[in-house]
């Protein structure tokens, strides 16, 4: 005969299923971007970000991804530019320190390839996006790579005098390589 505790835990075990919670390996991960200022590429990266992933490669549609970025950790290789990005027309990182992404659906599109749909929020502005992702595994580590184009003006990044796309292009190429431990074999 099952105890009351066992009966209460059965629905929880069924709800979580075989999906596994993965741990982000931050030291092996990167989040970079390329914007264009007066036609010249400007490369940057974020030094601090976190991702939470609950994913079963056999049932990707049951997975969930959440991602946060510390906007104050932007690095362009020039302290004066980094200080400028912290200001209100750009990231306003003192008032709104984080950007976030929360998935709403994960769909397989081929062998170890997926589309992750969700809501991206930056500076209080939210937009639905779809991000293509490729997965690979080696030595117990799962790598997730992908790229997408962010339209900065949709998120009020570069307000005021910087809103002119002739000065700073509206399209920003975002690329990431994330490393996780704890994902089942692909």
State the pLDDT at residue 19: 54
**Could you tell me if residue 186 is inside a domain?**
no
Is 6 domain-assigned?
no
Kindly state the average pLDDT of the residues 127-151: 97
User: Residue 83: how many CB atoms within 10 A of its CB?
Assistant: 9
The CATH code of the domain that includes 115 is 2.40.128.110
Mean pLDDT (whole number) for 124-147: 97
Does a structural domain hold residue 7?
no
Residue 35 included in any domain:
yes
Q: Print the domain residue range for 101.
A: 24-181
Give per-residue pLDDT as tens, 11-65: 333 333 445 689 999 999 999 999 999 999 999 999 999 999 999 989 999 999 9
Buried b or exposed e, range 17-44, using 16+ CB within 10 angstroms: eebbebebeeeebbbebebbeeeeebeb
Contacts of 58 (CB under 8 A, 6+ apart): 18, 184
Residue 47 included in any domain = yes
Residue 60: inside a domain, yes or no?
A: yes
Residue 46 maps to a domain = yes
Distance of CA 57 to the CA centre of its chain: 19
Q: Give 54's strand partners.
A: 21, 64
Do 101 and 119 meet the contact criterion of CB atoms below 8 Å apart? yes
Asked if residue 91 is part of any domain, the answer here is yes
Q: How many domains in the chain?
A: 1
């Amino acid at each position: 005969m099952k105890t009351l505790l066992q009966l209460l835990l059965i629905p929880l075990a069924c709800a979580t299923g075989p999906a596994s919670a993965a741990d982000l390996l931050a030291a092996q991960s990167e989040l970079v971007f390329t914007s264009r200022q007066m036609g010249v590429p400007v490369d940057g990266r974020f030094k601090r970000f976190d991702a939470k992933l609950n994913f079963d490669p056999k049932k990707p549609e049951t997975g969930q991804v959440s991602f946060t970025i510390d906007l104050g950790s932007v690095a362009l290789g020039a302290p004066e530019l980094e200080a400028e990005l912290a200001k209100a027309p750009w990231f306003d990182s003192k008032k709104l320190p984080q950007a976030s992404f929360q998935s709403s659906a994960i769909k397989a599109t081929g062998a170890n390839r997926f589309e992750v749909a969700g809501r991206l929020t930056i500076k209080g502005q939210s937009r639905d996006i779809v991000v293509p992702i490729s997965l690979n595994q080696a030595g117990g580590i799962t790598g997730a790579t992908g790229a997408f184009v962010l339209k900065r003006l949709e998120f009020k990044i570069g307000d005021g005098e910087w809103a002119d796309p002739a000065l700073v292009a509206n399209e920003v190429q975002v690329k990431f390589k994330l490393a996780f431990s704890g994902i089942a074999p692909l």
